[in-house]
Amino acid sequence: MDSGAGGEPTVGEVGEFGLIELIRQGIGTSKHVLIGPGDDAAYLATSDGKVLVSTDLLVENRHFRRDWSSPYEIGRKAAACNLSDINAMGGVATGLTIGFGAPADLPVAWAVDMVRGFEEECSKVGAHIVGGDVTASDLIILAVTALGDAVRPVRRDGALPGDVVAFAGQLGLAGAGFAALSRGFRSPRAAVDAHRIPTPPYAAGPQAANAGATAMTDISDGLLADLGHIAESSGVAIDLTSSAFTLPEPVVTVGEALGADGMAFMLTGGDDYALVATFSSETTLPKGWTRIGVVSDGSGVTVDGKPYEGPAGHQHWR
């Protein structure tokens, strides 16, 4: 990969989290910032309370394609990935704003249908669109900020040796659906639909927080990649047990059709927006949570005691 002008590193070379770390070094903080950059959402103190804040950016042909998904489905997905960030902190979203960029020739009906899908997804947690902005753009861009409440925000940096690792929601289906769509297939329907409209386990975040989860994040880039953030932030090692996973039939079907490893979709596929968390070994896991691994001294994420061969998940600019 070539460096930029004058030999300076490019954003593609430093990667998403390298860029975020450089940005963090150049920004300030204050007494109002209770949790700053580095988690799924920030946590701010206000004059009459506290609020969770998270922003995500969805770009046409990068995060969605109009020939794969309807505007309604794109609206559902845009809302889901932002609501999931609040969920991953153990909170519940209360309102969202949308920055909407679009070409001048985009039919108005497209935008209206997208908002219909967005609002329908928000209704699952009792949230609504509360504002935003619109502008001209060569491609459709959705910049969404979600606001929410949490009794006890759960960060990524609290995992401890001896904790157990568990997940809630579904894994692998969206990744398998993306692989199928990329090869021109429109089935299995369950996998393709999972890519078009994620189904985050919205009740699981607050349940995990109430049960005393020590660390938590949502799975947007892949289980191994996102667990890697918990391991790094907490200064621990995490080992997953492959036999703890049950491969959904559509994942197996896509794997067989494409000559791919179905387990890879479970471990590295993103866009399902499941939750993964760590809990004390003495904690009774909430309903819907499945134990899949353990936390120990050390660093990194392994599977059955061995490093995973291949990419751990999605990487921007790669």
Q: What are phi and psi of 43, to 5 degrees?
A: -130, 115
Burial class from Cβ neighbours inside 10 Å (0-12, 13-18, 19+) for residue 248 reads buried
Sheet with 141-149: strands ordered across: 33-35, 42-46, 49-59, 141-149, 92-102, 128-136
Please indicate if the annotation marks 85 as binding a ligand: yes
Please indicate if the annotation marks 133 as binding a ligand: yes
Q: Which H or E run contains 240? A: strand 237-240
Burial class from Cβ neighbours inside 10 Å (0-12, 13-18, 19+) for residue 126 reads exposed
Please indicate if the annotation marks 40 as binding a ligand: yes
Please indicate if the annotation marks 132 as binding a ligand: yes
Please indicate if the annotation marks 55 as binding a ligand: yes
Q: If you search the block for the tokens 């030999």, which residue do you land on?
A: 7
Other C-beta atoms within 10 Å of 89: how many?
Answer: 29
Please indicate if the annotation marks 233 as binding a ligand: no
Please indicate if the annotation marks 138 as binding a ligand: no
Please indicate if the annotation marks 156 as binding a ligand: yes
CA distance 55 to 145: 4
Please indicate if the annotation marks 220 as binding a ligand: yes
CA distance 232 to 310: 19
Please indicate if the annotation marks 297 as binding a ligand: no
Please indicate if the annotation marks 54 as binding a ligand: yes
> 161-200: b or e for each residue (b if 16 or more CB lie within 10 Å)?
eebbbbbbbbbbbbbbbbbbbeeeeeebebbbbbbbbbbb
Sign, Cα dihedral of 2, 56, 132, 99: positive
CA distance 166 to 294: 9
Pick out the residues of the known binding site for substrate.
63, 271
Pick out the residues of the known binding site.
40, 54-56, 63, 85, 132-133, 156, 218, 220-221, 271
Pick out the residues of the known binding site for ATP.
132-133, 156, 220
Pick out the residues of the known binding site for Mg(2+).
40, 54-56, 85, 133, 218, 221
